[in-house]
Amino acid sequence: MIKWSRFVGFLLIVVLFFALAVPTYKGIWNGITLGLDLQGGFDVLYEVEPGPKGEEVTSEGVIATIKAIERRIDAEGVSEPNIQKEGENRIRVQLAGVFDQDEAKKKLVQTAVLRFLAPDGTELATGSDLKSNAKYVSDQNTGAPQVAVEFKNPDLFKDITSKYVGQVVAIELDGNIITAPVINEVIYSGSAVINGQKDVKEATELANLLNAGSLPFPLKEISSFTVAPSLGEEALHMTLVAGGIAFLLIFAFMVLVYRLPGLIASIALIMYAYLLFAVVNFLGITLTLPGLAALVLGIGMAVDVNIIATERMKDEFRNGKSTLSAVIMGQKRSMPTIIDANITSIIAGILMYWFGTGQIKSFAVAHIISVLATFITAVLISRLLMQLLVRSNLIKNPWWYGAPKKKGGAAK
């Protein structure tokens, strides 16, 4: 007797998935942040040098420098920068979608040490005495660009202005005096303006630098290279083409060799791909070429899980089991092997992430996500769809479920 409720459940799961996936997959893909090797950009390696007074470079100093670089990049609105410590005193910066290398490097390496100097050159205050709220303003009379700053301790600026009324207090940036105003009166508010910028862009950049803070240590460029947008697009296109061809070949192979289980495995494979990119989008993971390669390789792993289960089902058919028993027992007996394989794959991914750097970590993250997606789609969803179909009694012939034929031609 055909159990239509089981078959309707099977169709409902498949139809609902495609009803969700078809209108949303483009938005999910477009929302994924692509790495340097897929959209172009530039990569630069810096060496952290001792401070101007001979300060020794420490691990804490390198980390503080990385944080200062991160704040500068955030101020520029660059999406998903990759900044990593390499070795003891090197920092690698990768900026995807940024192609004006000279301009970007200028902002990264500028130490941005701001000092307020007395007429005799004595240091009165530094950029660290300012709040992180510097902003561009224009002079009310001339319209000239300025940078408005505010002291953390207003009394400090009050003391400076009261002591040097009628005298010049120079403002120095990285050893260069950018303005030297005469103090006309005591300022109690702790607010000041820095002028001397030639345009709005320069004033805005100075404000961003002051807000990000000065670099604890100077940086020396070791190497750099640029990836053109066309090369990134070509790499992405070729990888997606390879993945698409792999999908089609696997789909055809699974259906021809394993029939209904192969068809269900192919549906689960489509679900795997959708879930994979949805997770990457949701977690905000930057997708690199090695990461994309790991996801494509994950297609093979997802298929392996279904093949293992189907081969176990065929063994049960050979032992004379009914269709329902063969499907249930085949899935049950394949589970320990599948779980062991997934656990070892996750362990390998964790080790790659723990000990690897850069692109190896990117590959490891994508690999771990693909294994988890495989378990959800190829194990849980495939099993559910297969059991709903076989329990519906709509298709009873064991041959459709992968059973080998007897010599006489009928399936066992």
Q: What's the distance, CA 52 to chain centroid?
A: 35
Whether residues 274 and 379 share a domain: the answer is: yes
Per DSSP, the residues of 112-126 read --EEEE-TTS-EEEE
> The CATH number of the domain where 28 resides is what?
1.20.1640.10
Whether residues 246 and 393 share a domain: the answer is: yes
Whether residues 237 and 126 share a domain: the answer is: no
Residue 378 resides in a domain: yes
Whether residues 221 and 254 share a domain: the answer is: no
The whole domain housing 178 covers 112-214
Residue 313 resides in a domain: yes
Residue 27: the pLDDT is 94
Residue 409 resides in a domain: no
Whether residues 256 and 200 share a domain: the answer is: no
- Average pLDDT on 389-395 reads 87
- Average pLDDT on 297-315 reads 86
Whether residues 239 and 357 share a domain: the answer is: yes
> Which helix or strand (DSSP H or E) is residue 47 part of?
strand 41-48
Whether residues 294 and 352 share a domain: the answer is: yes
Contacts of 26 by beta carbon, 8 Å cutoff, 6+ apart: none
Whether residues 85 and 209 share a domain: the answer is: no
Cα gap 157→232, rounded to integer Å: 51
Whether residues 386 and 270 share a domain: the answer is: yes
Residue 336 resides in a domain: yes
Residue 362 resides in a domain: yes
> The CATH number of the domain where 144 resides is what?
3.30.1360.200
The answer to whether 235 and 292 have CB atoms below 8 angstroms apart is no
Residue 408 resides in a domain: no
The answer to whether 403 and 11 have CB atoms below 8 angstroms apart is no
Whether residues 207 and 289 share a domain: the answer is: no
Q: Is pLDDT above 70 for 80? A: no
Residue with tokens 């690897």: 356
Q: What are phi and psi of 406, to 5 degrees?
A: -75, 170
Proportion of the chain above pLDDT 70, given as a percent: 95
Cα gap 412→398, rounded to integer Å: 7
Residue 405: the pLDDT is 66
pLDDT in tens, 17-74: 999 999 999 999 988 888 877 887 888 999 999 887 778 888 888 998 898 888 878 7
pLDDT in tens, 149-199: 899 999 999 999 999 999 999 988 888 888 888 888 899 998 888 887 788
Cα gap 221→225, rounded to integer Å: 11
Residue 78: the pLDDT is 65
Whether residues 122 and 195 share a domain: the answer is: yes
Whether residues 164 and 289 share a domain: the answer is: no
Cα gap 185→158, rounded to integer Å: 10
- Which of the 8 DSSP states describes residue 405? B
Proportion of the chain above pLDDT 90, given as a percent: 23
